[in-house]
Amino acid sequence: MSRNEAVIIRSVLTMSLHTPTAAIIEKPFGTLADGRGVDLYLLTNDNGMQASITTYGGIIVSLTAPDRNGVFADVVLGFDNLDDYLAGHPYLGAVIGRYANRIGKGTFTLDDQTYDLARNNSGNHLHGGIAGFDKALWSARPRSRPEGPQLRLTCVSADGEEGYPGRLDVTVDYTLTHENELRIDYRATTDKPTHVNLTNHSYFNLSGPGGRDILSHEMLVNADHFTPVDEGLIPTGEIREVEGTPMDFRTPHAIGTRIEDDDEQLQFGDGYDHNWILNKPDTDPSFAARVFDPTTGRVMEVVTSEPGVQLYSGNFLDGSLTGKEGKAYGRRCALCLETQHFPDSPNRPEFPTTMLRPDDVHETTSIYRFLAR
Ligand code: BGC
């Protein structure tokens, strides 16, 4: 019996103790240039919702959700083979680390020592650098949880990787709950003081990618403030009220309503590419945002323990990428809601800190919940 067959059988048996339908199936997804094998795990919950996740980059390759008639569709951008991911892409579905979003000029000072990070975005550091967690090969362990099937991914980032101090041990638990949630629990520890900010970079289109753009999706963001940026999308340090700006999503409306407004912030991002400061009483997971697709009735709610969320409206997608089922990914054909600490926090002591010290444990939770109406 092959290793894969053994895993499949063990997983299905384990799941059947809890539920008749939930399962995790593993299959090979390809091979890296250095010969290491990459796997793909298919998680199914009790309702038939499915998530497929690869050990390369911890990438969510597909995620299905039911519409108002109970019809499932894949709601995330991705490729159906490893080679297309290896050819390069704008972080589709990947785990982002060590630091999600930008660090200005790719540098920070910690305990009187200055660290130079990989600069991969107009002189700034973006999404962990040149070889961030989106390109790591993660170790996987399928697990049966009462809430639903879970894939535990782990990786170790060596001291000095992409310029960061400290060895970082990282765990990402993806749980596909029977409540139709994709729950992501992040955990990291270090052996030297460092900075950490982990997220997932899934691109969503609730109609199913490759057709309509997301400008008619209705959005609500639970935030009274956002962090304005400069031309390089680095926060200026100002905390600005959303009131009276195109960033005001406190009542739900179509994303496209004001995206073309003559507004300096929208010009810098070529659309929405900003961090909202969530209205949060504490660091427990709480409601952050809701997206509704009037065409299919699909709803996605985002709940997070993080203080911020980046809404990126897919402005830099330009049709040059062809994804699953041969569908081209055009401008604004999907949106990201990246739960996170604020960009450039290592250089902004006034922002909630991203510092992690050896005695501390970095633990955050983000939930993408799917409904229909
Ligand atoms: C950033 C965008 C960037 C995109 C893909 C987003 O998280 O905010 O500026 O273009 O990721 O790299």
Q: Is the CB of 134 under 6 A from ligand 1?
A: no
Return the amino acid letter for 93: G
CB 6 within 8 Å of CB 25: no
Torsion of the alpha carbons at 164, 165, 167 and 171, rounded to the nearest 10: -50
State in Å: Cα 48 to ligand 1 middle.
32
Q: How far apart are CA 92 and CA 85, in angstroms?
A: 8
Helices (H), the chain: 3-16, 82-86, 264-269
State in Å: Cα 129 to ligand 1 middle.
12
Q: Is the CB of 338 under 6 A from ligand 1?
A: yes
Q: Is the CB of 91 under 6 A from ligand 1?
A: yes
Tokens found for residue 319: 């049709």
Model confidence at 5: pLDDT above 70: no
Q: Which atom of ligand 1 lies nearest, measured to the CA of 273?
A: 8
Q: Please give the helix or strand (H or E) that residue 266 lies within, else none.
A: helix 264-269
Atom 9 of ligand 1, nearest CA residue: 273
Atom 6 of ligand 1, nearest CA residue: 312
Residues acting as catalytic residues:
201, 338
What are the two backbone dihedrals, phi and then psi, of residue 347, each rounded to the nearest 5 degrees? -105, 10
Any idea which fold 95-372 has? Beta-galactosidase; Chain A, domain 5 (2.70.98)
State the average pLDDT over residues 52-77: 98
Q: Is the CB of 90 under 6 A from ligand 1?
A: yes
Q: How far apart are CA 249 and CA 65, in angstroms?
A: 24
Q: Is the CB of 316 under 6 A from ligand 1?
A: yes
Test site for ligand 1: of 120, 273, 329, 340, most ligand atoms within 8 A of the Cβ: 273
pTM, two decimals, is 0.95
CB-count exposure of residue 212 (10 Å: 0-12, 13-18, 19+) = middle
pLDDT per residue as tens digits for the range 22-63: 999 999 999 999 999 999 999 999 999 999 999 999 999 999
Q: Is the CB of 310 under 6 A from ligand 1?
A: yes
Atom 4 of ligand 1, nearest CA residue: 90
pLDDT per residue as tens digits for the range 128-175: 999 999 999 999 999 999 999 999 999 999 999 999 999 999 999 999
Q: How far apart are CA 11 and CA 72, in angstroms?
A: 24
pLDDT score at 7: 44
Model confidence at 14: pLDDT above 80: no
Question: In this predicted model, which residue has the larger pLDDT, 281 or 277?
Answer: 277
Q: How far apart are CA 134 and CA 129, in angstroms?
A: 10
Model confidence at 82: pLDDT above 50: yes
Q: Which atom of ligand 1 lies nearest, measured to the CA of 126?
A: 12
Residue with tokens 């993660």: 138
Interacting residues of 127 by C-beta distance below 8 A, sequence separation 6+: 91, 96, 99, 100, 101, 120, 134, 201
pLDDT score at 13: 37
pLDDT per residue as tens digits for the range 195-224: 999 999 999 999 998 888 999 999 999 999
Q: Per-domain residue ranges for the chain?
A: 95-372
State in Å: Cα 359 to ligand 1 middle.
32
> How sure is the predictor about 20, in pLDDT bands with cuts at 50, 70 and 90?
low
Model confidence at 318: pLDDT above 80: yes
SS3 274: strand
State the average pLDDT over residues 99-127: 98
